[in-house]
Structure 1
Amino acid sequence: MQAFRGRTGSSPRTQSGPAPAPFSCHTDDHTKHVQPIRLPAMQQNLNYVYPQIFWVDGCTNLSTSGPSESSIAPFPPPVPDRKRKPRSNREGNSIGFLVVSLLILLSLTGVGLSMFQIFRLEKELTELRESASTEHIPPALEKLIGEKSESVKKEERKAAHLTGNPMQQDLPLEWEPISGHAFTAGIQYRNQGLVINETGLYFVYSNVLFRGSACSSQVLTHVVYKKNPASPGSQVLMEDKKINYCTNQKMWARKSYLGALFKLREMDSLHVNVSKIALVNFEESKTFFGLFKL
């Protein structure tokens, strides 16, 4: 930066001799000098071009002996702030509005899904009621019933069906547990009776066919009873008696059927007794005994 040179008149003067002294004014024998102001190195490195700035010592009469006020460059404008400007309030408001809109949209979506599920359940309930009134099972309920029946099939059903045994020796009646139509499932056949291994409700039935070649006055008796090791004696569950079962001397036949529902305990054993073994027809389709658990 170059220092400002003083003037002695309205036009500059060029001398061949030594350089003229700097501009000065004489007031009370004090010499005033015009000195350049050096900007800091940091500001000089900026791309902004600053005009030359001069600092002038005070003089009593600048209009006559020093440079005019118009010759002094004004103070430079402030350096623009190069920092990143903060986000405006409008941008913040836009982001907040977007977040609130998304939350409202999610809430409406959840409500819509809930209403759809409610409508679907109401529709299925209406179809179920209509099917119940018309005795028609809808496919969904039929599938559910099928799955339940399959699970029941997997669980062993407690039941037994015994058929007559012609090789009778003594009362109570002896039975065939495995041949022909006879079977046992979850029920044990032991000592001429069926043994219960689980307490519950059971339907018990027994059928005996009596036949003879001549009439007699003997009473035909058919009894189903139970025993338990924890209780002494026996208890009659069902009984049937027949009298006057024939009117002439010809052959005759009479059927006696017993069946009822009972609550049986574990270790109960059920047996069948008759008045006379010789009058019993032991064909498997005519004399049988069984039960099943509900």
Structure 2
Amino acid sequence: MQAYKSRAGSSPRAQSGTTLPDFGCQMENHAKHVQPMPLSATQQNLNYVYPQIFWVDGCANTSSSCPSAPPIAPFLPPVPDRRKKTRNNRERRSTGFLVMSLLILLALTGVGLSMFQIFHLEKELAELKESASTEHIPPALEKLIGQKEEAMKKEPRKAAHLTGNPAQQDLPLEWEPISGHAFTSGIQYRDQGLVINETGLYFVYSNVLFRGSVCSNQVLTHIVYKKNPSLPGSHVLMEDKSINYCTSQKIWAHKSYLGALFKLRNMDSLHVNVSKIALVNFEESNTFFGLFKL
């Protein structure tokens, strides 16, 4: 039996002087072929040397038995491919981005549906309020309200605005009831005053402009009063007295305004009085008198 040795210097046992064990089988005119198994590029680059491994063909003679082959050193584990890891990371990132996009889309859809539902509920609530407001009004009350509205449309609001009249003869002051800005609506102008024909709350106002060319510092009085045929005398509603309104001998002017809310009765008449007619400026924008019902 012929023993096959490794190349010189390639086997650790050969270098140490140790005799390799014999293996193989007797062959009849057939040489055994020993093929060294090539190493991978990774194994060749290693700093340390692994023993070479040989692969021996089987016995040519099938009748003879072959001794068991010596143990073969285990192969190194394959080096993991890093490209697969990079591909897996990209796939995971794309999957995570897709999941996040779907979640955001679902959230936006939910918000849109909620807003639409809220808008729909508000619309229904407004319709219910409108229907309830019309259903709970009794027919008699609705008819009365309609009649009152029609009466208010037909009947003008009670009001009057009078402007100054230069053709003054005596007190109380006389007024212009028609021309310019002057008018009367539901109120009668009679005997230099405004006559009330319906009891109620009225806002009464009066404005008088005093002016002069010489400063005498006499007291300027502006009064609004009322009279009633059923009551004796007159009753002062508003009064204004002015002193020290000028300081030199030049031309001067002084305005006096009165205005307040009063409860007036039917047949009450309102008038305006001043301390001296000659000092009153009767232009319609400076001296006027009026009232309106609330």
TM-score by length of 2: 0.50
1:271 aligned to 2:271? Answer: yes
Q: Does 1:176 align with 2:179?
A: no
For residues 27-42 of structure 1, what are the structure 2 equivalents within 5 Å?
none
- Partner amino acid for 2:189? Y
Query: For residue 123 of structure 1, what is the aligned residue in structure 2?
Result: 126
Change (3 A) 1:202 1:214: same
Q: Percent identity?
A: 84
1:231 equivalent in structure 2: 231
Structure 1 residue 217 and structure 2 residue 214: aligned? Answer: no
Superposition RMSD in Å = 2.4
Cα separation, 2, equivalents of 1:209 and 1:173: 13
Q: CA deviation at 1:123?
A: 2.6
| Deviation (angstroms), 1:126 | 7.8
Measure the CA separation in 1 of the matches of 2:253 and 2:150.
43
Q: Take 2:177 and 2:197, find their aligned partners in 1: how far apart are those partners?
A: 17
Partner of 2:281: 281
Structure 2 residue identity aligned to 1:248: S
Question: How has the CA–CA distance of structure 1 residues 124 and 263 changed in structure 2, closer, same or farther, with 3 Å as cutoff?
Answer: farther
Structure-2 residue corresponding to 1:158: 158
In the other structure, the counterpart of 1:293 is: 293
Mapped partners of 1:171, 1:255: distance in 2: 19
Evaluate the alpha carbon distance shift between residue 155 and residue 216 of structure 1 in structure 2; reply closer, same or farther with a 3 A threshold. Answer: same
Code of the residue aligned with 1:246 in structure 2: it is: C
Distance 1:209 1:123, change over 3 A: same
Distance 1:183 1:245 in 2: 32
Please list the CA deviations of residues 167-215 of structure 1 after superposition, one character each: whole Å capped at 9, or x if unmatched: 0000000000111111111100000000000000000000000000010
Q: Which amino acid counterpart does residue 265 of structure 2 have in structure 1?
A: R
Q: How many residues align?
A: 157
Judged with a 3 Å threshold, the aligned counterparts in structure 2 of structure 1 residues 208 and 150 are, in CA distance, closer, same or farther, namely farther
- The SS at the match of 1:221 is strand
**TM-score, scaled relative to structure 1:** 0.50
Shift of 1:120: 7.2
- SS at structure 2 position matched to 1:123: helix
Q: CA 1:248/1:124 → structure 2, altered by over 3 Å: closer, same or farther?
A: farther
User: Which segments of structure 1 move beyond 4 Å, counting only runs of 4 or more?
Assistant: 124-127, 148-151
| Unaligned segments of structure 1, at least 5 residues | 1-118, 128-147
2:208 is paired with a residue whose SS is strand
Find the aligned partners of 1:220 and 1:125 in 2 and give their Cα distance: 64
SS for the counterpart of 1:233 is: strand
Unmatched runs of 5 consecutive residues or more in structure 2: 1-121, 131-147
**SS of equivalent to 2:285:** coil
Match of 1:26 in 2: none
User: In structure 2, do the counterparts of structure 1 residues 151 and 286 end up closer, same or farther at CA, with 3 Å as the change threshold?
Assistant: same
Instruction: Write the deviation string for residues 60-101 of structure 1: whole angstroms up to 9, x where unpaired.
Output: xxxxxxxxxxxxxxxxxxxxxxxxxxxxxxxxxxxxxxxxxx
Aligned to 1:141: none
